[in-house]
Structure 1
Amino acid sequence: MRDFEIDKDIRRASTLPARVYSDPEYFEAQKDRVFARSWQYVGDAAAVKAPGRVAPLTLLEGCLSEPLVITSDDEGTVRCLSNVCTHRGSIIVEGEGHARNLRCRYHGRRFNLDGKFVSMPEFDTTVGFPSEKDDLPQLPLERFGPLLFSGLAPEMPFGDWIGPVRERVAFMPIDQFARDAATTQDYLISANWALYCDNYLEEFHIPYVHAGLAEKLDYSGYRTERFRWGNLQLGIAKAIEPAFELPKSHPNANDRVGAFYFWLFPNIMFNFYPWGLSLNVVAPLSVGRTKVSFLSYVWNPGLRESGVGAGLHRVEMEDEEVVESVQRGVRSRLYDRGRYSERREVGTHHFHELLADFMRRPVGNNGASHLTPRE
C-alpha cells in the first residue's frame, strides 16, 4: 500500500489518489488506522437510563464489527463494555433488556454490570484464576446531549473532538432533544465512505446538484470554518427563510444562519436546524458500499417542514446519485487526482489532510484485535 501526501497549502494540493476509493487494501488499513482510533456514535442515552438496563450493539458493522454492550448499573452509572466472554469468545448479551448481571449462556461465566468477573463453574483448579484478564474490557464512554459516543482507542480526547460543536450550539437545549424514530432512516449507497464525506464537505456542488436547497441558501455567504478535528459549514439562509435566533454574544449573531453543518473526523455529521438535529453516521460496509444513518433529534417539531432543514430525503437522493456516479468515475484508468477550489473545497481538503495523516500512523498493538491508545 503506497502512502500519499496532501499539501497543507490548498492552492498547491492535489486531492486523494483515486485508488484510495477503490482499492480493498486501503479499506482494510482504514479499519485499524482510522475507525478504531476515532470516536463513534454508539446509541441513545435514553435507551439505558434505567438501572439494570443492557443494550448490545455492533460497532460499525461491516467495518470494525466489534460486539459491545452498554450497561447501566444499580447506581445508574453507564458503561461501554466488550460483549465477548473472556472464556471462549461467545457473545454474552443477545438482546436489549434488564439484567442484574451478565451471564454467558455458553459455559455460565458471570460478570457484574461494570464488567468485573464474578464466577465461573468448574474452574477451582485453574492456576492464577481469576485475574484482570477475566474482566470484560471497558471502553471510554462519553455523552453529548442525548448521544453516546465510544471508541476502541480514540486518538483525541473527547472534549477536544466535540468541543467546537458544544461551544457553537450551547444556546440550544441539547439535553431536551428527543429521538424521532419516524424520521430516522438508513440509506445504502454504492460508493466508498470517503467519497460520501468528500461530497458533504464541499460547498461547490450546492447550486449544481441541489436546486431546491440553493433557493433557500445565500450561496455568497455560505462558508466553511476549520478546527482541529473537524469543520463547520455555515448555511446562511436567504431573507425569506427561517433562521436561528442567536444570542447577541454568539459568534454568528450577525448572520442569518439557517443551518450549522458540523463534520467531525472521520465520519460523523451534526446538522443543526431550528427544529433540532439530524445526526448522520457514515458507516463503511465495504470498499464500495456505505450505509448512512440519518438520526433525527427534535426540539421544535413545528419547524420541521420549513427552511433549509426541510426536505432532507430529497437532498440525500440528489447526493447519492452524484456520489455513485463519482465512484464509477474514480475507477477509471485515466483518472488519478484532481485539484481544490480554495474558496469552496476547504472542508474536503481538511478531511483529506486528516485521512492522509491517520493512514501514515502506525497502529501500536500487540495483535490485530488488541489496539492500544497512542500516548
Structure 2
Amino acid sequence: MKDAAEDLRKNVSLPFEQARAMPPSVYTSEAFLARETSSIFAHDWFCAGRADALANPGDYITLDLADQPIIVLRDKVGALRAMSNVCRHRMSTLLEGRGNTRSIVCPYHAWTYNLDGSLRGAPAMDQNAGFCKSDYSLPDIRCEEWLGWVFVTLNPDIPAVAQQLAKVEDLVADYDMTNYTETFFETHIWDTNWKVLAENFMESYHLPVCHAGTIGGLSKLNEMICPPGEDSFNYHTILKDETLRIAMAHPNNTRMQGERRRTTFLLAIYPSLLITLTPGYFWYLTLHPHGVGQVRIGFGGGMSNDYADDPDAQANFVQLKTLLDDVNVEDRGCTEKVYRGLRSQSASPGHLSHLERPNYDFAQYINARIQAADHQ
C-alpha cells in the first residue's frame, strides 16, 4: 500500500503555480488518520466553541479531542476551565452534550465533583483505608479564550493561542470579533473526510455551481481575493451585496470604513475552525474526524452586538439561518460526492485554480505537522 505521508510530501513540493489537489490516500488511509490524530489534533489548539455559550457558572460543553473526553465549563467564580471528562473511579465518562450543572456527578457510582474538578463525595468508600478524596481531582486540560473563542489543547508546550493568532487579530481588528453573540449551535456528522469539508470552506470557487439553488447567483468569482496563507491560518475575502443588510456594518459602527463595511472574511484557523465573518453576523464550523469517512461538525453562529437592539435584524437573521441550513444541505451533497470519488481507483488530483490558494496552504500545514512528528 502506498504511504499517504510520502504521497503528500511529494504533492506539496511543487510551487503553487503548478500545484494539484492533495492525493486521495491522505483522505482514505486509516494509517494517515492515526498520524493526523496524534500530530495535529493531539498537538494543536482545537476550538470548542464560543465563550458566550458558557456565560453562567455551571454552564458546560463536552467534546472528544483526539479520543480524549473533555469538559469545558464556567466555574463558580466565573473562570473558564477544561478538565478530563472521565471519572477517577471506574473511568466512566461523566457529562454529555451541553447544559448547566451545579456539580459533576458520575452516572455509574455517583462520585461527585465540584466545578473546579475536586472530588466532593464518593458513596460507600469509607471502608477503604487507602482512599483519600484529595487524591481524586479531575485532571486539568489547557484552555484559553481568544476573541470570544474557546480553545483547548492536549499539548502542555504549545504557545498561547493569542501568540499563534496575533496576525488574525490584526487582520480583523475592526470587526471586534469578541463582541458577537452566538444564537445557535448544532452538531452534525457527515459522510466525508474532515479535510474535504475543511477545503470546501476554504475555497469559494465552488459557490456558483454547488450552491446554484441558494447563494450561487450572488457569488462573483472576480471579486474573491485569495492571498497566501500563514503558518496557523489562511483566509480569503468576498464582498457582500448591500441588499443583505445584516451582513453590512451597522450604521452605529464607526470602526469600519469604505469597502471594509461590506467585506466578508472566510477564516480557516488550523486545524479546523472555519469562520465566515461579516461586519453584521458570523457563522462557523469546528471539525473533528469521526473515522476516515466521517466528520463531526460543530455548527454555530449569531450576530454582531452592534445589532443587539435592532429587532428587524434579529428577524432577518432567523431567515438567514434558514438559508444557511439550505446551503449546508448543498455542501453536504457536494462534499460527500467528493469523498465517494476519492475512493475510486480512477481518482487522481487535478491542478488547483488560483481561487484555491487556501487549499494549497492547508496541504502545506498538514504536511508540516506530519513531517515534524516523523522527525521527533
Say whether the fold is shared (TM-score over 0.5): yes
Residue 158 of structure 1, CA deviation: 0.6
Name whichever of 228-237 and 22-31 sits farther off.
22-31
Gap change, CA 1:350 and 1:102, over 3 Å in 2:
same
My pick for the range that moved more, 260-269 or 141-150, is 141-150
CA distance in 2, matches of 1:88, 1:77: 28
Alpha carbons 2:53, 2:182 under 8 Å: kept: no
Distance 2:48 2:344 in 1: 36
- Partner SS, residue 264 of structure 2: strand
1:78 is displaced (CA, Å) by: 2.1
Compared CA separation, residues 72 and 180, structure 1 to 2 (3 A): closer
Question: After superposition, where does 1:218-367 map in structure 2 within 5 Å?
Answer: 218-225=220-227, 226-238=229-241, 242=245, 244-245=248-249, 253-254=258-259, 257-299=262-304, 300=307, 302-303=312-313, 304=316, 311-341=323-353, 343-362=354-373
Aligned to 2:160: 157
* Matches of 2:208 and 2:147, distance apart in 1: 33
- Specify the alignment match of 2:199 in structure 1: 198
Q: 1:58, 1:65 within 8 Å by CA — same for their partners in 2?
A: no
Residue 55 (structure 2) aligns with: 49
What is the aligned length?
354
The question of 1:24 aligning with 2:30 is answered yes
Separation in 1, partners of 2:321, 2:166 = 23
Distance 1:168 1:109 in 2: 47
Shift of 1:153: 2.0
Alpha carbons 2:242, 2:262 under 8 Å: kept: no
Aligned equivalents of 1:131, 1:363: Cα separation in 2: 39
Contact 2:236 2:266 in 1 (8 A): yes
In the alignment, structure 1 residue 148 sits paired with structure 2 residue 167? no
CA distance in 1 between partners of 2:357 and 2:127 (Å): 59
Once the two structures are superposed, what CA deviation does each residue of 1:113-139 show, in whole Å capped at 9, x if it has no partner? 333456764487549x7887x432211
Check the 8 A contact 1:216/1:308 in 2, yes or no.
no
1:14·1:340 contact (CA, 8 Å) conserved in 2? yes
| Per-residue Cα deviation, 1:79-108 (whole angstroms, up to 9, x for no partner) | 101121334323344684333x55556567
Q: Is the 8 A contact 1:244 1:257 kept in 2?
A: yes
Counterpart secondary structure, 1:115: coil
2:170 aligned to 152, 167, 179, which one?
167
5 Å-filtered alignment, 1:40-119, equals 40-51=46-57, 53=58, 55=60, 57-60=62-65, 64-93=66-95, 96-99=99-102, 102=104, 104=106, 111-116=113-118
Indicate conservation of the 8 Å contact 1:22/1:288, yes or no.
yes
CA offsets per residue over residues 52-88 of structure 1, 9 Å max, x none? x15251325xxx3432223433322221011213343
Distance 1:8 1:309 in 2: 40
Looking at structure 1, the residues matched to 268 and 188 of structure 2 have their Cα atoms a distance apart, in angstroms, of 18
Worse-matched range after superposition: 206-215 or 315-324: 206-215
| Cα drift, residue 47 of structure 1 | 4.7
8 Å CA contact 1:56, 1:96 repeated in 2: yes
Amino acid at match of 2:292: V
Name the CA distance, whole Å, in 2 between partners of 1:180 and 1:50. 15
1:13 pairs with 2:19 = yes
TM superposition score normalised by structure 2: 0.79
Aligned to 2:190: 189
Deviation at residue 145 of structure 1 after TM alignment: 4.6
Q: Distance in 1 between matches of 2:240 and 2:319?
A: 8
Identity, in percent, stands at 21
Secondary structure in 1 matching 2:17? coil
Per-residue deviation at 1:185?
Answer: 4.2
What TM-score do you get using the length of structure 1 for normalisation?
Answer: 0.79
Counterparts in 2 of 1:262 and 1:339: CA distance versus 1, 3 Å: same
Please list every run of 5 or more consecutive structure 1 residues that lacks an aligned counterpart in the other structure.
365-373
Contact 1:237 1:256 in 2 (8 A): no
Q: 3-state SS of the aligned residue for 1:140?
A: strand
Q: Residues of 2 paired with 1:355 and 1:111: CA distance? A: 38
Structure 1 residue 256 displacement after superposition: 6.2
Report the aligned-residue RMSD. Answer: 3.6
Aligned pair in 2 of structure 1 residues 345, 47: CA closer, same or farther (>3 Å)? closer
**Rounded Cα–Cα distance in structure 1 between residues aligned with 2:321 and 2:73:** 34
> In structure 1, what is the Cα distance between the partners aligned to 2:127 and 2:166?
47
Shift of 1:143: 1.9
Shift of 1:346: 0.6
Q: By how many angstroms is 1:257 displaced?
A: 3.4
Q: Work out the CA distance in 1 between the residues paired with 2:75 and 2:336.
A: 45
